[in-house]
Amino acid sequence: MPSPPEQDFATNSAGAARLPIQRRDFPHRFVFGTATASYQVEGAFDEGGRGLSIWDTFCKTPGRILDASNGDLAVDQYHRYKEDVDNMAEMGVDAYRFSVAWARIYPDGLEKGVNKEGVTYYNKLIDYLLEKGIKPYVTLYHWDLPQKLHDSFGGWTSQEIVKHFAAYAETCFAAFGDRVKHWITFNEPLQFSVLGYGLGIHAPGRCSDRRYCKAGDSATEPYLAGHNVILSHAAAVKIYREKFKALQGGVVGITVDAEWAEPMTDSVDDKVASQRRLEFQLGWFLDPFFFGDYPATMREYVGDRLPKFTPEEQKSVRGSVEFVGINHYSSRFVTPALYAKPSDNYHQDQRILTSAVRNGAVIGDKAASPWLYIVPWGLHRVLKWVSERYNRPPIYVTENGMDEENNSTLTLDEQLDDLKRIHFYQDYLTAVLQATREGMDIRGYFAWSLVDNFEWAMGYTKRFGLYYVDYETLKRYPKRSARWFKRFLSNSIKQEV
């Protein structure tokens, strides 16, 4: 059997004792923050000159969103940003990771020029954050592509997208870079490449299954999208380094995501399958930036469907990541899988099976989402894998959190009493702390999310927030976890039991 997980910070279902941790336990300049995404929180979809995004269109397609909702209003941060910033200041966070809505800057792609109202909105948000002592960490793309760019040439499936993203990034660098020092080009390119272009369950809803998708090719489009993301990142970084870095002094990274892949057994086959799973998740996007090409396993298993870099592209891509953002929520056991026919999608290409159960035992406690198991040692192992494979790059945990059901039968007090989330953060932060003590260059941690919000295909059925949002009035209420974070960040925390 595999060696047991790191028991010094893991907890069990019986509630094993937790050692209290405090902010002072972390490195002096370690950054603590919260995170959101534009489509999930902003609302105001038809205000301030904003154009339509692929998520505006996708949400209006019947059957795509679990509760038939959308982000038209979301939680109205567009109008309530000061309230949200004030709440973060009350908690004592150092930073806020938010995303810019591309269609709020360029409503119709690039054809109608910069939307000054959009620039003004983000300037006001950034200025108010700084006024409250909170640093902005800005994501340029968190899945909401302007619809016109998808309609015109296929969005991320076409290399035409590279010049458009580069121009959009340059506009943001010029408008906000005097105050923004940490840029993230893309959030979770794996997810929007596979879910949007392979499974069709996220925007723009493309896949090979004509029972579900009107168009798409699951065998090729996810890899085309991923390839063009990598080229777009490199193009944006080139612009930043040539035109802005000397004056602004910022850094540009990318955020990737992964579950930890734990071998089902100690067998060589399971260990190889686990490594292959991580290479398909993390290596897909990080290997080109650090080594100049995709993992050899992907070349072998995907074959000619995996695009190739030209020598010029390799030169541009390699070395263009200045820090790595890691989004992590859950872990799985992994074992090899054999298919009778040739694979024709990202999941089959990996030749693996994943499971949350081994020998009748579940890998961790369950959150609300069917995919989210609470496995703190999994985050530690993801951080270690990235640190060792890429020679100790600077890392930020850019998302980590857990959800609860949106249960209308509970009282407000019951909704706010989220002790399970407190234990989640205690255990996962302890995993991050251990990583820093082992010499990994972990520089920050961002809790997902600041507020309950629109959770993509799940709509408003799940709640990840530190702040509860009444979806009828949009009033924010601090959950018990928000109060815990305030004590944690003030170094006066008392252990929750």
Q: Pick out the residues of the known binding site for substrate.
A: 40, 142, 187, 329, 448, 455-456
Contact between 77 and 41 (Cβ < 8 Å): yes
At residue 43, what is the residue type?
G
From CA 440, how far away is CA 436, in angstroms rounded?
Answer: 5
**Cβ atoms of 48 and 103 closer than 8 Å:** no
CA-CA distance, 109 to 274, in Å (whole number)? 40
CA-CA distances (angstroms) from residue 415 to 4, 159, 209? 35, 46, 39
Q: Scanning the structure block, which residue is given the tokens 């299954």?
A: 209
Cα–Cα distance measured from residue 29 to residue 40, given in angstroms and rounded to the nearest whole number:
29
Query: Which tokens hold the place of 337?
Result: 């899988």
Displacement of CA 106 from its chain's centroid (Å): 23
Query: Cβ distance 218 to 207 under 8 Å?
Result: yes
Angle at 111 between CA 180 and CA 196, to 5 degrees: 70
Binding region: 40, 142, 187, 329, 448, 455-456
Which candidate, 280, 251, 106, places its Cα nearest to that of 185? 251
Phi, psi of 214 (to 5 degrees): -75, -25
The CA–CA distances, whole Å, from 89 to 22, 93, 132, 176, 357 equal 18, 6, 6, 21, 41
Q: Looking at the annotation, which residues are catalytic?
A: 188, 399
* Measured distance CA(349)–CA(11) in Å, rounded: 34
